[in-house]
Amino acid sequence: MFEYEMAAARSADLIREADAYRLMREAKKARRASSRSQEPEGSVRGHRNRFTRAA
């Protein structure tokens, strides 16, 4: 009976580790995806008289 309890405890530990690892990977993937979608905003000032007006 003791061996069964040890195996059940080890199984529960492995399942918890796998869940934590999966959650960490999903968080990293989401962070990478969100940083790719953000485009750096450039300055708009100073470009107003760069081109002539169209007729």
Q: Which two tokens stand for residue 2?
A: 């003791």
**pLDDT of residue 52 exceeding 70:** yes
**pLDDT of residue 10 exceeding 90:** yes
Give the helix/strand (H/E) hosting 33: helix 2-37
Name the amino acid, one letter, at 33. A
Chain segment 26-45, per-residue pLDDT in tens: 999 999 888 776 655 656 56
Give the per-residue pLDDT at 3.
Answer: 95
